[in-house]
Structure 1
Amino acid sequence: MRSVRFGVLVGVVCLATACAGGAVERPAVRGALDVSTRFPAPRRLVAVGDLHGDLEATRRVLRLAGAIDERDGWIGGDLVLVQTGDQLDRGDDEPEILDLFDRLAREAAAAGGAVHVLNGNHEFMNVKGDVRSVSPDGFADFLDKPVPGLAGAPPETVIAAVLARIKAFKPGGPQALRLATRNVVAVVGNTVFVHGGVLPQVAEYGVERLNQESREWLRGERPCPPDLLLGPDGPVWSRHYSKDTDEADCRLLAEALEKLGASRMVVGHTVQKDQVTSGCAERVWRIDVGLSRHYGGPSSALEIVGDQVRILRAP
């Protein structure tokens, strides 16, 4: 009963925090894009899928990638690490994961490597005040004083915790500003990385433009996200390339890749059974293996060295 009440309270607060409609989009200024979206091909790249608040699973897959040592320090040298979003929700270790990747990005840069973390649908859900997938501890982290067993706490305490988290993640809030340093889409060498998938209309719109406008929204500089970002065919929600792709899906993929000047796409978002999978003659790779405690999947990642793509699996 307590968990039901907790869920109801969270849902009520969510309903009150939607983005106001009727906002007017600012016209695009094609010559003023200042967000880096494209990066040169590295010697070695490893891509990691959804982490969902599980620090131990995160550590395991980063060690599998050769990115960190037993003390969580960067040992990847010039490795480029890409994490395709959904660090938030479902698990209790979100702050630790966010902090870890921020630190690793600095350490990697100092060693000649790089860490690119993308925003997924769960990051944007939190920014929009949709916190239905947050664990009780994920709310308690934002209270001034820790409250053990928040799911059984008085309604006023639960509501205060939910509102505190929503405030932190709302556009312009401290956590939204942190997410504003991240892209939605990154192109590294000839590979496109995105949480859900880039369809042709998004490629035509411009992934550089989408990255910039998304960051502007996260910083509180525009009233609502760009229209193409959060729809069912948007880059963080699309599942066109994530399941059993048919001929029509592969045509969409080929068109999007041609517009982007790329050879393959790497996506997360949709849990694959047992291991990383591919589709459309290996032009799309799906790296969400459900490795967090919530799903119980294996530790697995994708390695790209030159033109060679290899699945990394835990022994």
Structure 2
Amino acid sequence: MRRVIISLIFFINILFTVKALALPPIIAIGDLHGDYEGTLTLLKKADIIDEKLNWIGGNKILVQLGDQIDRGAGDRQILDLFESLKREAPKFGGKVHPLIGNHEAMNVYGNFKYVFPDKAFYDFENFLSDAPKNYVEEYSSYQQGRFHAFFPGGDYAKILSKRKAILKLGPYVFVHGGVLPKYARMGIETLNREASEWMEGKRKRPHWITDSNGPLWVRYFSKKTTSSHCEMLKTSLDILKAEIMFVAHTVQDSGINSACDGKVVRTDTGISSYYGGKKEAVLIRNGKLYRIH
């Protein structure tokens, strides 16, 4: 029998609980990094799936904040699982929103630095794409299937193109790294559209995809925060008309936590076997935030 503990993180400001109360329960989880078994353990702990991997989350909204892949052998299994849950959840009133992280983006632009073990390549060995031959030949033969699968317009790049970089639900913003004011001013819709069109093979890679301070990479809100970081966060939230930003990307040794007076919640607990961290999720329900651990 699983032993699950749900602890209150904090109560949301009464000024926007009306918007929060209008939402179904939300489960937010951070980086998974190729650990399929760890992913299943966490989804079961959060009452999202049963032992047969069926959706049992009812009307819950599941948000996964990117980096499903790299550093583990279960990349394809995790990607496929979330696509299956995306199709199944609406039958029960639920929704699934897997976001893109920097590692999804890296694979689309052909950076396989963190792809290991070799199984993570062999699982994609039979894929082909319209990638130019000279691009493909830059990779070892066992890597080429994965290159095709994730090349813009390839089968898995198209899957990723349907995923958002930034998601807003009521007063909450979900993003892998964080949203600084200059990107908040660009607008969530613009950023998501640019990422999608790039992964579909319809445009060049947007500059912010590789920006160290861009939405997929910035760590200002997930490491030790300063007063200036918190002020930037407040500015971004004001622009986005939101109250709390949920981020991942940086492992939190202490587990899920918040900073900047509760304006940012850090969800990356290093659940994968690569990091050996805590398997935790955030439950957002009726204006309260809980830690599932």
Q: In the TM superposition, what whole-angstrom CA distance separates every residue of 1:125-146 from its partner, at most 9, and x where no partner exists?
A: 000100010011111122249x
Offset of residue 200 of structure 1: 0.4
2:200 is the alignment partner of 1:219? yes
Offset of residue 261 of structure 1: 0.3
Letter in 2 for 1:273: D
CA distance in structure 1 between the partners assigned to 2:21 and 2:112 by the alignment: 36
CA distance in structure 2 between the partners assigned to 1:53 and 1:92 by the alignment: 5
Q: For structure 1, list consecutive stretches of 5 or more residues without a partner in the other structure.
A: 1-38, 146-155
User: Identity of paired residues, percent?
Assistant: 44
Match of 1:241 in 2: 221
Letter in 1 for 2:207: D
Cα RMSD over matched residues?
1.7
Give matches, 1:124-273, under 5 Å: 124-135=105-116, 136-144=118-126, 159-223=140-204, 225-273=205-253
2:287 is the alignment partner of 1:311? no
CA distance in structure 1 between the partners assigned to 2:65 and 2:93 by the alignment: 21
CA distance in structure 1 between the partners assigned to 2:286 and 2:21 by the alignment: 12
Letter in 2 for 1:281: D
Offset of residue 198 of structure 1: 0.5
Are the aligned partners of 1:41 and 1:190 in contact in 2 as well (CA < 8 Å)? no
CA distance in structure 2 between the partners assigned to 1:173 and 1:40 by the alignment: 40
Mark the CA change 1:209 to 1:69 in structure 2 (over 3 Å): closer, same or farther: same
Are the aligned partners of 1:171 and 1:217 in contact in 2 as well (CA < 8 Å)? yes
CA distance in structure 1 between the partners assigned to 2:230 and 2:185 by the alignment: 17
Match of 1:242, SS state, is coil
Q: For structure 2, list consecutive stretches of 5 or more residues without a partner in the other structure.
A: 1-19, 128-136
Give matches, 1:19-168, under 5 Å: 42-135=23-116, 136-144=118-126, 159-168=140-149
TM-score, length of structure 1 as denominator length: 0.81
Offset of residue 302 of structure 1: 0.6
Match of 1:72, SS state, is coil
Are the aligned partners of 2:161 and 2:200 in contact in 1 as well (CA < 8 Å)? yes
Letter in 1 for 2:57: G
CA distance in structure 1 between the partners assigned to 2:88 and 2:207 by the alignment: 35
Are the aligned partners of 2:100 and 2:165 in contact in 1 as well (CA < 8 Å)? yes
Match of 1:107, SS state, is helix
Mark the CA change 1:213 to 1:144 in structure 2 (over 3 Å): closer, same or farther: closer
2:262 is the alignment partner of 1:282? yes
CA distance in structure 2 between the partners assigned to 1:50 and 1:213 by the alignment: 23
Mark the CA change 1:125 to 1:170 in structure 2 (over 3 Å): closer, same or farther: same
Match of 1:62, SS state, is helix
Q: In the TM superposition, what whole-angstrom CA distance separates every residue of 1:247-299 from its partner, at most 9, and x where no partner exists?
A: 00000000000000000000000000031011001110000000001000111
CA distance in structure 1 between the partners assigned to 2:182 and 2:21 by the alignment: 24
CA distance in structure 2 between the partners assigned to 1:41 and 1:128 by the alignment: 39
CA distance in structure 1 between the partners assigned to 2:21 and 2:83 by the alignment: 21
Match of 2:274 in 1: 294
Mark the CA change 1:229 to 1:159 in structure 2 (over 3 Å): closer, same or farther: closer
Aligned residues: 263
Are the aligned partners of 1:40 and 1:188 in contact in 2 as well (CA < 8 Å)? no
